Structure 1
Amino acid sequence: MARKISAITFAAMAALLAGNALATEGGGGVYPNGNENYLVGAMPPPGTYWLAYAGYDHLTKLRDNNGDRINVPFDVKVGAFAPRFVWVTDTKILGGQLAWHVIAPLLNVDVSVAGSSQRKTGLGDIVFGPGLGYHEGNLHYVFALDVNAPTGSYKKTDMANTSRNYWNLEPLIAVSYVQPQGINADIKFHYDFNAENKDTKYKSGQEFHFDYALGYGFGNGWVAGVGGYVYQQVTADKLNGATVANAKGEAMGFGPSIKYDNGKGFFITAKWQKDFSVKNRAEGTALKVKFSIPF
């Protein structure tokens, strides 16, 4: 099942100041790429669980359609804390354990572009949806559908927003291979269907992306390795029904990743990642932390 926080929301002003079109509206999306880590596909036994995500993203560059830096002062900092509640039921459908989840992210967005700046703090876009979990020995996998609702604060004239201001459907598949000692591998595939932003008449294109983690378990609860993401926009954006040319986004991220699991329901993961191979999007670094506390 997906575990996420609402994505950074840039104003279209960033693109206008740069004189370039960014992929998807303002160069952002509903999902913060690279947010997931180890245990992404391992659904727990029936019960109620509380997880949380904390993150800090610092974006300092804008890249054009050729991957070249856009010459405009640009600095975006986003701090996030996103509690997530998961209910794994006793119900089985198609052999999988049925679960439901909801995430309510709290964001602090600080945007500075070409001498203008704005900060906004508040609730982001709430995420909810069902999932089916499966277990085959050390292999675990989940099929899920996330719904991203535009519940955050949005004004089309603002530089900083805590909402994308449109609905999004995000089917996903997450797979985890878990060993106390030995190779640990995780991957989560997403495909995004974005609705139109009614205030701007902008419809962001469809997006394919996946997060991954690969590490080695030392047999004492610790796993160390690497993680990151790959992102590719699949279809073109539309503004007032017309196709926006040469504005599909691409990006990758990579960095070190660790996990500690006490074997009693508590675990924590942490990852630092740097963006590269970026086109029509913002580039920077991010620190991502995820933890679970059983109750």
Structure 2
Amino acid sequence: MISRTTRYAALISGAALFSPGLACAAENGAGFYLLGGKGPAAAITPPPGVYFQNDLYIYSGNLGGGRSLPRGGQVAVGVDGDAVLDAPTFLWVLPEEVMGAHVGLSATIPFGWMGTSADLTLTGPGGGVLGGNVKDTVFTIGDPLVGGILGWEAGNFHWQVGTLINIPIGDYQEGEISNIAFHHWGADVYAGATWLDPTVGFDLSGVIGMTFNAENPSTDYRTGNELHFEWAAVQHFNEQFDAGLVGYAYQQVTGDSGDGATLGDFKGRAFAIGATIGWNFKMGETPVATRIKYFHEFGTENRARGDSVFLTVSIPLSITKPTNIAAQ
């Protein structure tokens, strides 16, 4: 059984896990919406107040078999990539309601390290060789992200709609094959639902969304629209501990375009499955929610295949109306 105090420790989990990474297809093999960012309690909106969540994201992947990937205005062959990124997020849930829904506003400023190596870089398919055994690393700040959510609940059922905007003012490394910033506007819209039964401690969550990308003016490359679905099934064993399965599916539904899209439409696809463990506790009177998620990718197409780990810590900074929710 989950007590209301334990359920409150979840806070922002479903509302504000936004960070960039190597986890999507398209230009640079990356997208500003990070697959696996949603999980348990994905559609539960916290009560009015201000919340903080920090997500540490660790990724390692490769694109073997001599396959090509558009990166930094070039074509990279035989790509290996690693990243350690941090995404601090603030969420403000307003006391006012709109159409019976809680309203939340979020902001994230990601930063971190990325390392990429390639067997070759080319000017384009069949073009000249720019370099062999290329390696590039960067530690810098990414594009800020702002978001908004509307969340409802009825008994054990919670549902939510939201949007996330990528603002292209991060430190973009023009012409390099490692980048944390994306240098283009983008928007993601999504809808999610969570069934959380506190009497048996079972949480079933799912989120579906679509990412829309503007053109990168430095590379004349526009990534196509990207469809993503994330799910989680978690059992709470007591007030502090839960464990379960997580996964996602990704499919690019329209092709890449622009003068820089020398590989054609380059539609990407990926699936992943993994596991999660959550632990909730208190520091004094402050509830703290922690979670680890691991994902292993399979069935990839036109993107690197890899493994990723999320380490998440969530706390309330101020609560207008003390209530309790479950942790992601």
CA distance in 2, matches of 1:172, 1:265: 28
CA distance in 1, matches of 2:265, 2:92: 43
Query: Which AA in structure 2 matches 1:247?
Result: F
Q: Aligned-pair distance for 1:62?
A: 4.4
2:105 match = 100
CA distance in 1, matches of 2:312, 2:203: 17
State yes or no: 1:86 paired with 2:108: no
The SS at the match of 2:150 is strand
State yes or no: 1:208 paired with 2:227: yes
State yes or no: 1:4 paired with 2:18: yes
CA distance in 1, matches of 2:186, 2:274: 28
**Structure 2 regions of 5+ residues with no counterpart?**
1-14, 69-75, 120-132, 318-328
The SS at the match of 1:266 is strand
Give the RMSD, CA atoms, in angstroms: 2.3
CA distance in 1, matches of 2:26, 2:102: 35
Query: Which AA in structure 2 matches 1:134?
Result: W
Query: Which of 135, 150, 170 matches 2:168?
Result: 150
Q: TM-score, normalised by structure 2?
A: 0.79
State yes or no: 1:269 paired with 2:269: no
1:225 match = 244
Given that residues 215 and 258 in structure 2 are in contact (C-alpha distance below 8 angstroms), is that contact kept between their aligned partners in structure 1? no
Given that residues 4 and 31 in structure 1 are in contact (C-alpha distance below 8 angstroms), is that contact kept between their aligned partners in structure 2? yes
Q: Deviations over 1:81-114 (max 9, x none)?
A: 1110000001111110111000111121111111
CA distance in 2, matches of 1:46, 1:258: 27
1:290 match = 312
CA distance in 1, matches of 2:219, 2:118: 20
Q: Aligned-pair distance for 1:41?
A: 1.3
Counting only pairs closer than 5 Å after superposition, residues 225-264 of structure 1 correspond to structure 2 as 225-240=244-259, 245=264, 247-262=266-281
CA distance in 2, matches of 1:204, 1:101: 25
Q: Aligned-pair distance for 1:156?
A: 3.2
The SS at the match of 2:267 is coil
Query: Which AA in structure 2 matches 1:74?
Result: V
CA distance in 2, matches of 1:197, 1:156: 11
Query: Which AA in structure 2 matches 1:31?
Result: Y
Q: TM-score, normalised by structure 1?
A: 0.87
2:12 match = none
The SS at the match of 1:178 is strand
2:6 match = none
CA distance in 1, matches of 2:170, 2:59: 18
Q: Aligned-pair distance for 1:116?
A: 1.2
Counting only pairs closer than 5 Å after superposition, residues 139-178 of structure 1 correspond to structure 2 as 139-178=157-196
Q: Aligned-pair distance for 1:154?
A: 1.6
Q: Deviations over 1:96-144 (max 9, x none)?
A: 0111000111121111111211111111121102211111122222211
* Percent of residue pairs identical: 28
Q: Deviations over 1:219-240 (max 9, x none)?
A: 3332211101100001011022
CA distance in 2, matches of 1:220, 1:86: 24
Given that residues 53 and 290 in structure 1 are in contact (C-alpha distance below 8 angstroms), is that contact kept between their aligned partners in structure 2? yes
- How many residues matched? 278
State yes or no: 1:281 paired with 2:303: yes
CA distance in 1, matches of 2:23, 2:259: 20
Q: Deviations over 1:29-68 (max 9, x none)?
A: 1122112221221111101111111110001234769xxx
CA distance in 2, matches of 1:77, 1:193: 25
Given that residues 62 and 281 in structure 1 are in contact (C-alpha distance below 8 angstroms), is that contact kept between their aligned partners in structure 2? no
CA distance in 1, matches of 2:111, 2:87: 6
